[in-house]
Structure 1
Amino acid sequence: MKLVWSPESALQAYIDTVKSCEKFKETGVPELLSAMAAGWNTKFIVESWSYGGPIAASVGLAVAARNTGARHVCIVPDERSRAQYIKALAEMGVSPPPEVVVGEAEVAVSQLAGLDFLVVDCKRKEFARVLRVAKVGPKGAVLACKNAWQRNFCGGFRWSVVLQKGVRVVRSVFLPVGKGLDIAYIGSSRSGAAATASKGPRRWIKHIDQQSGEEHLFRKPSH
């Protein structure tokens, strides 16, 4: 299985986000993220946010979640950030707000299985670790890095290096939108297991000697 693109859903989310974000001077990233999340018909959107950060991208993701009926979770580092995040979205007309999880982003993401759209901020030093522990759904996922120009100053970033071993990057693209947006579409986290299974599982026959009580394992010949 894989994510299926719907241009109609993407366009509707884009239009809705433009209307919701009219007050922001900088456009591009919220609309694009919203269109992508809705266009791929994602059902589990995860992002992180901290006190004082821009809220526009969160508004766009909330619009996409509303359009697709997705679960939308935002991870914040503390209660202060949680209160400000909810207040900022309410002021933008987003109600009810997304689910808010308080804690370290790396730990929180590792406990959220089945996500299919993840947005990280490259200004945060832990962004690469968050990408590495993401547990995506059976249809794969879209991973987006905003403020990617900031990351490029550090050098050495490659999707194949950052993600867990065995995770397949189907395609990736860097877009000069806002302060840089790097996006990757990855295959299901089960793909590695599936590939192993396709080779045939190792089957063993257990035999217990009735006299000695010793246990012996014999590998079953492949057919």
Structure 2
Amino acid sequence: MKLVWCPETASKAYIDTVKYNPRICVVGDATHIQYWRPCEVFEESSVAELISAMAGGWKPQLIVETWYHGGAVTTSVGLAVASRHTCGRHVCVVPDEQTRLDYTEAMRNACDMSPEVIVGEVEEVMGDLVGIDFLVVDCRLKDFARILSIAKLSHRGAVLVCKNSSPRTYSTFRWRTVMGSRSRIVRSAYLPVGKGLEIAYVATSGGSLSPGKATSRWVRHIDQLSGEEHVYRR
């Protein structure tokens, strides 16, 4: 088995996430609307909607994310919406009890959904989370690459998302280096959404393509900073 894309669930997750991130409000009363203006635009709101659609579309059964003190919870809202549509498990990993309280309070104020929150060192917690098929980490965490490398992914494959991926991070980040030989990078992309998203769809080493049977292919890459196009074979 492998992850299969479902556009209907992706659309539902996207639309429902938009409802939690209103961007337009009315100035005036119901009988006399003076004008329209943007409401508070939540940080990372566009990222939340995109990630929610991705999580809904791939229909993962175990969604895992990391959160740190002071971070926005819009992505968490999007993942919570997606997990509701896919009937999957949504877990947020936080480092300590105070962070858990802050996260829980922020989610309570943002929506009517509350994911499962696990407190502990990321490396220890990730060891107990087996079969991850959708993982979201924050590139502002110094050990985000380590989190990706130790995650126990599903045998169906997984979608990995790194948010807040700055151009500097993008220029030095290499999925193959992070994931090693245990997973095959089926497709990866950098999206200039929000503060940057690194996304990869990976197949575990037990997938249909066995070691020693890989076929080379031409890859087209456009440098996001210079605009130069590079074509190479791998």
Bucket of the pairwise TM-score, normalised by the shorter protein: 0.7 to 0.9
**Could you tell me which amino acid in structure 2 is paired with residue 21 of structure 1?**
N
1:70 to 63, 83, 88: 88
Does 2:172 match 1:156? yes
Percent identity between the aligned chains? 52
Q: How much has 1:117 moved relative to structure 2?
A: 0.2
Q: Provide the secondary structure at the position in 2 that maps to 1:16.
A: helix
**Could you tell me which amino acid in structure 2 is paired with residue 130 of structure 1?**
I
How many Å separate the matches in 2 of 1:55 and 1:129? 22
Q: Provide the secondary structure at the position in 1 that maps to 2:161.
A: strand
Contact 2:42 2:74 in 1 (8 A): no
**Match in the other structure for 2:207:** 191
Larger radius of gyration: 1
**Match in the other structure for 1:221:** none
Q: Provide the secondary structure at the position in 2 that maps to 1:124.
A: coil
Q: Provide the secondary structure at the position in 2 that maps to 1:72.
A: strand
Does 2:198 match 1:182? yes
How many Å separate the matches in 2 of 1:37 and 1:17? 12
Q: How much has 1:150 moved relative to structure 2?
A: 6.3
2:151 to 134, 154, 164: 134
Residues 5-51 of structure 1 show CA distances to partners (whole Å, capped at 9, x for unaligned) of: 01111011000000012253443100000000000011100001011
**Match in the other structure for 2:133:** 116
Does 2:73 match 1:44? no
Contact 2:182 2:204 in 1 (8 A): no
Q: What TM-score results when the alignment is normalised by the length of structure 2?
A: 0.78
Consecutive unaligned residues in structure 1, runs of 5 or more? 199-223
Q: How much has 1:122 moved relative to structure 2?
A: 0.2
Q: What TM-score results when the alignment is normalised by the length of structure 1?
A: 0.82
More strand by share: 2
In the alignment of these two chains, the number of paired residues is 194
Consecutive unaligned residues in structure 2, runs of 5 or more? 23-39, 214-234
